[in-house]
Structure 1
Amino acid sequence: MLWHAIAPVRRYTKVSHDVMRHPRLNSDAKVLISYVQGLPEGQVDRALSEHAREVGIKGRRYQAAKELLVVNGFVHERKVPGARGLWATHQLFSNVPLSDADARALWREAGVGVDTAPSAQSPAVGEPGGRSVGHQLPVDEELGENSFRPPTQALDSGVELAALSGEEAQVERVLLSLRECRRDLRLGVAEARSLVALAVEWLRRGVSGAELRQVLSSGLPPGRVRSAVGFLRHRLVQKMPEAPVPVPVLPVPVPEAAPAPEPAPEPPAVVAPIITCQGPGNEHVFRSYGGATECADCQQAAAWARWAERRAADLGIDLAEDAAAAVEAGRDPDGWRSRLAAAAASGVGTASETGVTDGT
């Protein structure tokens, strides 16, 4: 670039390079320092905002420039009690950064903040007067509704919140999570608790927690929501789904109980007939099972007689000469047993003499 500069010989202000090259000051803040530094002594009692308005710095531009000057130590402000019980705001401007201690020392030297005696009149405060500062609104600001929303007040630490049920805790989490969708939907705990009763009714009407969050966070108006709690309460009321219609319960006809089946008649007990035993000996009767013709005693005696005959045949003894007597004797425990034992003993002797054995 080409550089052409002519040093002025009058009506100029010396500005430090530290100010003009300050990395944290914007152009408006540097212009204010240069302008106020060159003011004559008769105009320094005016507020900084009035000087900024003269150089065309208004509204948000002025607020941003003033904040940078305060943060970097070029401007200091303090409120002190004034006459007649009113408070006054004093400003200290410097073209070099000053610490808070340096600013207090300058205020003490200038006598700013010295306690003033109360008014002697009764009452101490007279008729209300006009406002000393802030009587003009910024020109470039919209004169519409105020979009500022103060932060939610913190709950008193001594106040204990009531315990919530499962549904209430669920909707409280949904309401507090809306800050993730847009920052202006941020709710405090107390504000969320005031909306829990309305939100729970949505769950009772069949809406899930995810659907409730979608309804509250979709279709938001452009710009900034002034009051999150008021906006969400309006939506919860106006978009409340209809209550489910109860379905009438018709009585179910109960079929008549079928009669219990009659128990099957028990089969008649089979009684074996009494017949006369066909066995030897005295005539006697017994109950015949399975077509038996002899009683159990006769069957047993006949079995023993057959066994005795086979045994006698094996030993070579002839017991057939009086079979009836042998059978009859078999009924006596000391009959055919003793006879068979005696015959076996005599047969053993005969076999030993003839050299024939029974092979056992």
Structure 2
Amino acid sequence: MLSHVIPAPRGYTKVSNGLVRQSRLGSDAKILVMYVQGLPEGDRDKALSEHARDLHFTGRRYQKAKTELLASGYLHEKRETVAGGRWRTVQVFSNFPLTDDQAARLRAGVPADGYELVSTGPVPTAHFPTVGAPSGPMVGGLLPADEELGKNESHPPTEAGSGDGEQDGQGEPEEPEGLAGADGEASGEASEGLLEEPSDEPEVAVAERVLLSLRHEQRQLHLGVREARTLAGLAAEWLRRGVTAADLRRALCSGLPVEGVRTAVGFLAHRLREKLPAAPEAVPAPEPPPPPPPPPALIACAGPGEEHMFRPHVPWATTCGPCHREEQRAFWADALARADAAPEPPPWRERFAAVAEGGAVSGAGAEGGAPGRSAP
């Protein structure tokens, strides 16, 4: 495919790669996000359905796009009561996925974790050419061009002395000695005995990659290479105790303070120490199974033929298998021969007549009294 793209000098909307490459959003949902993002601030104060109506998205088409935006975190809705016992629906729309907690903070008018509120300064007007000073960033911010939403893996660590201050994102110098804990106390003991150089232990290397990837989950937890290497020893202990890398990342990123994290390195050092899981209990080795019973002793077979030995499968057996089968064949052959030699029983009519005749004779003797005398 050949492509020729000419960048527009003015009147364009900058869209993040994370939105363009978002596979869970359809084309209608993406167009709706870009359309609302490119509107002047005065034209955004409408319900999302009205913006969709301007794009001729109605009916099932709009409902499908709205469902995708709600599921992906670009749209959040909440029903609230107003004066007079009526209800209203408050929508928080962003060009970057927000969690429920971040959307609630934005509705309350406070900055969400890692994001700034929309600037209230002068914004570009709807005139052409655009008039006015540029406004602040949209709610949610954008990921760098080489990063995509949903990935947790970090880039390979750079050299330790190649500008770690720039990686902090705020230009603050590193803390030379102790680590400030989440409650402000000095925690210099967190770095005692930890390696400053890359370790050959696999747990330490995996822990360092997990610490460097936290910035993809929470921007407040951005660490430099030296800071991650300093905390890698504490994080590696979690991995040695059976915690997976995904569970370690989830434990460090969840439940952040409402007032925000003052220092990422101090907060993580405090959490790594305080939430360290218990060492797995040593499971005793299973007892070996009992030895199998010895095979039964050989005994002489009582069958015909030459004397031979066999192991009885039951205590009362006296013949081996072949001899036992021969005895069974001989027994049933003899029983069948006796059955064939026996006379056939008389037909049922004769047996019935004999039974009836015997019953008549016995009945006559009972009624007539003594033999030889006639009835009076």
After TM superposition, the score normalised by the length of structure 2 is: 0.29
Structure with higher RCO (Cα < 8 A, 6+ apart): 2
After TM superposition, the score normalised by the length of structure 1 is: 0.31
> Which has more radius of gyration?
1
